[in-house]
Structure 1
Amino acid sequence: MTDKSNTPAEYKDSWRTPPELFSALNAEFSFILDAAASAMNALCRHFITEEQNTLETPWNSVMPDIPGYAWLNPPYSNVTPFVQKAAVENAEHSTGCVMLLNADTSVGWFLEAISTAHEVRFITGGRLAFLNAETGKPVSGNNKGQMLIIWHPWPRTHCEMKTIDRDALLSFGARLMKRAA
C-alpha cells in the first residue's frame, strides 16, 4: 500500500503509530486488541488484519472474554466507519477503544464521535512523527495535530474534552520502553 503510485492519502493510511505513544497509552489502558494491524506491525497479541476487516469482524470474537480496550489507528482517508464501529462495539459489547485521529473538529465524524465517546484528548505542543510502514523510520509530512477519542468499557454519561502534552506523553512512553528493554 505504500508504493510510489499511490495517492498521498493512501500512503498516509499506512503510517504506523509512534512506539513511544503506544507505550505511554498502553500503560494506562492495557490494550487487548490492535483493531487495525498486520502480522508485521501489530502492537497487541490479539489483532485484526486488513483482510479480516475490522469493520465486519466482531471485536469480541478476537479479544479474550474480558472487558478491556482496543487500540485503533485507522486509515485517515475514511474515518467515519471506524468511529461508527468503535461506537457499536462499545454499546453492544462494552468494549473500550482508544482511537488516534487527526485533530479536526470541523468534520462530521467528530460530531458523531463525541455523541458516543466518553473522552477526547487533544495532543498539544506539536505534531506526531508517524513511522513509514516499510522502513519503520519517522516520516515527515504530518501536517495536522492529533487527538485521541476514547470509549470506556462502562456506561456513558457525557464526553469530556482534555489536553495532553505531546512531549510529556512521548517522554513517558520512551522511559517505559527503556525500562522494558
Structure 2
Amino acid sequence: MLISNTPKSFKDRWQTPIEVFRALDAEFNFKLDAAADKSNALCKAFLTEQHDALKSDWNSKGAIFCNPPYSKIMPWVKKAAEQCKKQNQTIVMLLPSDTSTAWFYEALKTSDEVRFITEGRLSFISAETGKEGKAGNSKGSVLFIWRPWRIPGCWMTYVQRKELLKKGVNRDNRTPLPAQR
C-alpha cells in the first residue's frame, strides 16, 4: 500500500496534467471546470469549494470537465449523472481506475462511455509545489463521459497515455482523440 506524504490541506487539490486537459479540451471544448480553485482551474469558468459544486447546478454553455477530490468520489459521480440530464451538457470526469469500488459501478451504470487510459499512469500537478508528482499517480486513470443525447449503456474504449499527452502538446489540432474499442 502506497502512503502519501502530501499534507492534508493539499491532498484533494492535485491538478490535471495540462497536456491531458488540452487533449480532452480539443475534443470536448470545455466551458466549466466543476471542481477547482483559483490556483488549479483549467477553464475560465470554474466552481470552487465555496461554490459547493455538490449542492449547486453546474450551469454551462458547453461541456463540463471535472477532476474531483479523490477522497470522496461517489457524490461527484452521482452529481455528474444528475447534472448531465439537468444541464443537457456533456460531462467528462477524470478518476482513478479502480473497478472494485461502488462509485465505479455507479459511474458505469450512468455514464455513456468509460475511456481507460492505458500504458502508464498520469503524473498530476501538486497543489503544494506546483510541480508534477515525482512518483506518478498510485493507480491508472479512467475517464467517465456522460452525454445527454445517449442512452446509458456504457461504451468502453481506451486511449494510450502517450497518445493523449501527444495530442495535448499539439493543442491546435481540434480533432477527436482516436478512442479505440
TM-score interval (norm. to shorter):
0.7 to 0.9
Q: How many residues align?
A: 168
Q: Indicate if the aligned counterparts of 1:69 and 1:153 stay in contact, CA closer than 8 A.
A: no
SS in 2 for 1:101: strand
**Which residue pairs with 1:172 in the alignment?**
167
Which deviations, in whole Å up to 9, do the C-alpha atoms of 1:24-65 show, x marking residues without a partner? 0000000010001112221111110111111011112xx2xx
Tell me the equivalent position of 1:150.
145
Structure 2 partner of 1:159: 154
> 1:152 Cα deviation (Å)?
1.2
Deviation at 1:120, TM superposition (A): 0.3
Q: Distance between the aligned counterparts of 1:152 and 1:173, measured in 2?
A: 22
Instruction: Give the aligned CA root-mean-square deviation in angstroms.
Output: 1.9
Q: Structure 1: which 4+ aligned runs deviate by more than 2 Å?
A: 4-7
The reply on whether 1:102 has 2:91 as its aligned counterpart is no
Equivalents in 1 of 2:10, 2:99: separation in Å? 23
Unaligned segments of structure 2, at least 5 residues: 173-181
- Given residue 146 of structure 1, which amino acid in structure 2 is its aligned partner? S
- The within-5 A match list for 1:2-151 is 6-7=7-8, 11-60=10-59, 63=60, 66=61, 68-141=62-135, 142-151=137-146
Query: Where in structure 1 are there 5+ consecutive unaligned residues?
Result: none
Counterpart Cα distance in 2 of 1:21 and 1:41: 14
Cα distance in 2 for residues equivalent to 1:69 and 1:43: 13
Shift of residue 5, structure 1, vs aligned partner: 8.2
Deviates more, 1:42-51 or 1:25-34: 42-51
- The 2-side partners of 1:5 and 1:118 are apart by 33
2 CA distance for matches of 1:111 and 1:135? Answer: 34
TM-score normalised per structure 1: 0.86
Amino acid at match of 2:23: A
Percent identity reads 48
Question: d(CA) in 2 for partners of 1:77 and 1:119?
Answer: 23
Aligned to 1:16, the other structure's residue is in SS state coil
SS at match of 1:59: coil
